[in-house]
């Protein structure tokens, strides 16, 4: 970057909250690329999907501010963080939104439940190039030591080429292992699902309660899916859009004669 080029403004959020190691890692990587503004939740918002806060007011606190680096926390969801980042903190659009690094996979159908990817999709709706990064390791002290090159490569390419209108990226990286990650594959979302099993118990008053648990089941074993890539120690990159229309089904439904 020459001195005359304007540094890009990069908005960062996540759904594990501002304490998360994955967020700290992403901040340190993004500071090499531009001016970084962090707007993260005070609390973990994992599993919040595309939730927004409409019944309670939102509050934003400044945690830290220096040249080219600002950090804020709020009481909202990941999608709220993007809206607040644009409207209240920046007062305009950042050049890039990155979300994560999520502690846990957002590959396959996980994208639907993911607060990390909801933030990315929200930015995409607003016309901002946006990327979600997730590590396939749910532990809060996950090892992020192998992710730098992959994240830097994707961010460089997006800053260089941009992303077409209405498209954002879902990038997942295998958990740390002694075998190095083999590369990045451009994939489609695997058609897998969670099979729920509630862990049902009784409280001391004898009233039933249920913890949501589940098992990930993948019957979509094709080699062009994100889940295949991750299972074979590749990082996966899925271009994602927010048009949920099932175009192929329009014809058959039209024939119903409604």
**Window 41 to 60, contacts with a copy of itself (CB under 8 A):** 44, 46-55, 57-60
Cβ-based nearer residue to a copy of itself, 68 or 232: 232
Residue 237 found at the interface with a copy of itself (CB under 8 A): yes
CB of residue 134 to a copy of itself, shortest distance in Å: 14
Cβ-based nearer residue to a copy of itself, 68 or 242: 242
* 3-state secondary structure (DSSP) of residue 196: strand
Contact between 202 and 193 under an 8 Å Cβ cutoff? The reply is no
Cβ-based nearer residue to a copy of itself, 9 or 53: 53
**From 19-27, 136-144, 174-182, 239-247, span contacting a copy of itself (CB under 8 A):** 239-247
Closest CA to 147 of 108, 180, 111: 180
Q: Is the peptide bond before 26 cis (omega within 30 degrees of 0)?
A: no
Residue 238 found at the interface with a copy of itself (CB under 8 A): yes
Residue at token pair 């094709």: 222
CB of residue 108 to a copy of itself, shortest distance in Å: 10
Residue 40 found at the interface with a copy of itself (CB under 8 A): no
CB of residue 50 to a copy of itself, shortest distance in Å: 3
- Contact residues for 233 (Cβ-Cβ < 8 A; gap 6+): 174, 177, 179, 181, 182
**From 2-10, 24-32, 134-142, 166-174, span contacting a copy of itself (CB under 8 A):** 166-174
Residue 207, both tokens:
């009233």
Return contacts of 226-231, CB within 8 angstroms, 24+ apart.
Answer: 226/107, 226/108, 226/170, 226/172, 226/185, 226/187, 226/188, 226/189, 226/190, 227/107, 227/108, 227/190, 227/192, 228/187, 228/190, 229/185, 229/187, 230/105, 230/107, 230/136, 230/172, 230/174
CB of residue 161 to a copy of itself, shortest distance in Å: 6
Site string for a copy of itself, 102-131 (x = CB under 8 A): -------x-xxx----x--x---xx-----
Residue 19 found at the interface with a copy of itself (CB under 8 A): no
The span from the CA of 110 to the CA of 193, in Å, is: 8
Closest CA to 139 of 176, 178, 103: 103
Cβ-based nearer residue to a copy of itself, 63 or 186: 186
- Site residues (CB under 8 A) for a copy of itself, limited to 65-94: 79-80, 83-84, 86-88
CB of residue 120 to a copy of itself, shortest distance in Å: 11
**From 29-37, 94-102, 139-147, 160-168, span contacting a copy of itself (CB under 8 A):** 160-168
């Amino acid at each position: 970057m020459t001195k005359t080029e304007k540094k890009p403004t990069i908005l960062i959020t996540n759904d594990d909250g501002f304490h998360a190691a994955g967020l700290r890692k992403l901040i340190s990587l993004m500071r090499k690329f531009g001016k970084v503004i962090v707007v993260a939740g005070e609390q973990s918002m994992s599993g919040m999907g595309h939730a927004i806060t409409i019944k309670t007011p939102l509050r934003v606190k400044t945690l830290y501010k220096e040249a080219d680096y600002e950090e804020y926390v709020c009481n909202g969801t990941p999608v709220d963080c993007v809206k607040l980042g644009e409207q209240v903190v920046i007062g305009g659009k950042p050049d890039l939104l990155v979300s994560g690094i999520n502690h846990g996979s957002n590959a396959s159908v996980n994208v639907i439940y993911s607060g990390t990817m909801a933030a990315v999709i929200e930015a995409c709706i607003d016309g901002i190039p946006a990327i979600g990064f997730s590590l396939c390791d749910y532990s809060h002290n996950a090892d992020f030591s192998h992710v730098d090159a992959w994240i830097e490569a994707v961010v460089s390419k997006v800053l260089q080429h941009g992303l077409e209108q209405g498209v954002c990226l879902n990038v997942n990286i295998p958990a740390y292992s002694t075998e190095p990650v083999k590369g990045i594959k451009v994939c489609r979302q695997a058609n897998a699902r969670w099979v729920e099993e509630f862990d049902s118990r009784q409280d001391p008053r004898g009233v039933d309660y249920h913890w949501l648990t589940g098992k990930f089941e993948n019957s979509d074993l094709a080699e062009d899916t994100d889940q295949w890539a991750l299972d074979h120690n590749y990082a996966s990159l899925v271009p994602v859009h927010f048009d949920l229309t099932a175009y192929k089904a329009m014809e058959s439904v039209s024939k119903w004669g409604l």
